[in-house]
Amino acid sequence: MNTDGSVRVGLLRIEDALVALPVDVLREVVPLPDHFDALPTAAAGLVGALLLRNSVLPVLDIGTVTGRTRHREAMGVVVLVHEGGALGLLVDGVHDVVDLEAGALQPVVETPDGAPRLFSATFARPGTQEIGSLLDPAAVLGFPGVLAMAASHLGDGGSTEFAAAATSASLDPAYLVVRCRSADGTSVLLGVDVADVQTTLPALAPAPSQLSSDLCLGVTDYGDVRLPVVDPLRLLGLPPVAATGPWQALLVRSDRGLLALVFDEALDIVRPAPAALLPPPPGTGRARDAVRAVARMPHGHTFVLDVAALLADDEISALTALNTAARTGGPGSGGPRTRVLGDALPVAPQYDPVVVFRARGTLTAPLAQVDGVVPFPTDPTPWIGGRSGLGSLVTRHDVVPLVDLADHLGRGRVADPLDAVVLLVRVPAEDPDAAPQRVGLVVEGLSDIERPVWREDLDEAAAEERSPLVRVGSEQGPLLPCVDLTVVALSVVSPRRAPRITVP
């Protein structure tokens, strides 16, 4: 429990249900094994055991225990550790780490028949208001017939390992999962890497166009650009989307222009474990290249699109090249002219995503430089010989020195480190054969992940004086410094190797 009475929990998906566990009992996330070995017990939901670092870990399917029928293979196993016992739980998704206010937890009443109660409370997920259930770790480990192993046999690990898996910003890509309904009533799930999504349009009714075909549903306006609208099911050689409209759409960009892909419903943003991505079935033509993998997602098996391959297709490439100016103004209005079809617009630069965070003011940094995001540890280890009083974070893999980023940049100190989060940043080793070191940069909190609409292009001399500015959100969005976290981290572990960095 936090000092303000709130509870920090890790959010999980079991089948289609949202479930939470206190983050201090969550040890780590491990991939689903090829098989589970049998155990000499017939407890409901106990699927068997796996070998974790030479220790036997029993694994329980909570869905089966509560009477649900599993319709798909799980995505992985979360390791639960409580009061000296350890148990694995099958999960279908790992989401983020959130703080639930004490008043937001609604206790579950005892059942009249005295049956074991695995859930202690319900809650509404912050942001989406989806209803979730808080698992009682003592009740899970004490469920009749369930075997648990001694937690001491697991060796190193901790809740920060779970947090890194749940909130990692760069190790595994995150996918926007959408549902498309075909004309024959089939529901098809598609996943698109969020890094490939320019934006989404909440309501779309394509206008007829001479581009219209079985593949192209028409055109739509986005800002001052008119762009083609494409049926993604046709791309995959499936029956077309149901002509029920209005649809929603996600926009993807190639170096030639924008393309809108229609869908019916956005379901979630999921970061699946690599083991959940399966090779696609053999295909022919465009479908063979357009699907990168079939993923086990919380909402069902999902076709993960390879946007780069899709946009490289000859017909799709030709469509994206036909972005034209949207009609604005009438005769004599002085508005922009309407370009003829095929008079391609210049393509605006596409900038790499940045993470927006708070460190005595709002800053940004390249998302690719962030190796993971974890809560500030409740019991940091002293940093021997370090230049920071925040200590260090001990993980299963390394000891990470913690540095107040705002203080390091001369902007003042973080008010309360226990309410802060840590951006993990890798520092290239001076010896090319040595493993890179990580530094934990402590910030007040994360705000968003954005793709800038503009980035300042500094010349070499100016780049040595200060960080460039980026504009996020829209053309009227704020101008924010973009900090090179790799340089900051390098200045922590090897000041003589790091150039000077100034943030405006």
Structure tokens at 441: 């940069």
Token pair for 126: 């912050």
CB–CB of 77/89 below 8 Å? yes
Residues 457 and 428: beta-carbon distance below 8 Å: no
CB-hemisphere CA count at 13 Å for 11? 23
Helices and strands in the chain: count of H runs, count of E runs: 10, 35
Instruction: Verify cis geometry, omega within 30 degrees of 0, for the bond prior to 144.
Output: no
Q: What is the pLDDT of residue 344?
A: 42
Query: What is the per-residue pLDDT for 339?
Result: 37
How far apart CA 337 and CA 340 sit, in angstroms, is 9
What's the confidence (pLDDT) of residue 386?
58
Question: What's the rounded Cα separation, in Å, for the pair 292 and 303?
Answer: 8
Residue 229 CB burial class (10 angstroms; 0-12, 13-18, ≥19): buried
Q: Which residues contact 125 (CB under 8 A, 6 or more apart)?
A: 11, 18, 98, 131, 132
pLDDT tens digits along 326-370: 544 433 333 333 333 334 444 456 788 888 899 999 999 998 888
The amino acid sitting at 392 is S
What pLDDT, on a 0 to 100 scale, did the predictor assign at position 167?
45
pLDDT of residue 231: 92
Write down the pLDDT at residue 15.
79
Residue tagged 């490439």 (tokens): 317
Name residue, tokens 């639960």: 80
Other Cβ atoms within 10 Å of 330 Cβ, number: 8
Residue 326 burial class via C-beta count within 10 angstroms: exposed 0-12, middle 13-18, buried 19 and up: middle
pTM: 0.40
pLDDT below 70 — which residues of the chain? 1-3, 42, 69, 71-72, 110-116, 127-128, 153-172, 210-212, 244-245, 269, 283-285, 287, 321-349, 384-388, 435, 495-504
At residue 170, the pLDDT reads 36
Residues sharing a CB contact under 8 Å with residue 196, sequence separation 6 or more, in sequence order: 252, 307, 308
Q: Percent helix, strand, coil in the chain (nearest 5)? A: 15, 40, 45
Read off the pLDDT of residues 407-455 as tens digits, 9 standing for 90 and up: 989 888 888 888 888 898 988 777 777 767 889 999 998 877 777 888 8
- What is the chain's alpha carbon radius of gyration, rounded to the nearest angstrom? 25
Assigned token pair, 92: 């279908």
Report the C-alpha gap between 240 and 120 in whole angstroms.
45
Q: What is the pLDDT of residue 30?
A: 80
Instruction: Name the residue among 381, 392, 374 with its Cα closest to residue 437.
Output: 392
Task: Return phi, psi of residue 348, to 5°.
Answer: -65, 150
Torsion of CA 332, 334, 340, 342, to 10 degrees: 180
- How many CB atoms neighbour CB 420 within 10 A? 21
The DSSP symbol for 428 reads -
Determine the residue type at 253: R
Q: What is the 3-state secondary structure (H, E, C) of 316-340?
A: HHHHHCCCEECCCCCCCCCCCCCCC
Q: How far is CA 244 from the centre of its chain?
A: 31
241 closest CA partner among 228, 253, 229: 229
Half-sphere exposure of 397 (CA within 13 A, CB side): 11
Q: Return the residue matching tokens 């937890």.
A: 105
pLDDT for residue 198: 76
